[in-house]
Copies of this chain bind each other. A is one copy, B any other.
Amino acid sequence: MFQKMTTKEVAARFWALAQQGQYTQIQDELYAADVRSIEASEDFLPNAAGIEKVREKDKLFNDMVEQMHDGYCTEPVVAGNFFTCAMGMDITLKGQGRINMDEVAVYEVKDGKIVLEQFFY
């Protein structure tokens, strides 16, 4: 019988992939079909409901990127069905120059899948 991953297991897998910058793989492997994505505001990127909308948002973001210089993700801290970490990028955005972006990210896990990502920046 298929055993659903615990929140700790999802967080560990998330971190292993995040450290390699494999965020598409994180979505493919760990995100639920009905995942919700909540931004700090919608000035920079829109909120999204459902994995297809999350992928569209990623495409929006990737289209803004001229060059990704560096990135990091701290080891997730787990509490109940949630985990949290800090993430950041050293990035050049088209027409906006090179900036550092840092954010707190919170993830909710249900039935072994990530059902919410929420960003604070």
Contact = CB atoms under 8 A, between A and B. Distances in A.
Contact of A83 (B80, B82, B88, B104): B104
Interface stretch (A25-33, A52-60, A71-79, A90-98): A71-79
Majority SS at the chain A contact face:
strand
A39 interface: no
Q: How large is the interface on A (under 10, 10 to 19, 20 to 34, 35 or more residues)?
A: 20 to 34
Given A77-B84, A79-B87, A84-B77, A104 B106 contact: yes
A34 interface: no
A12 B107 CA distance: 24
Interface of A: 74, 77-88, 102-104, 106, 108, 118, 120-121
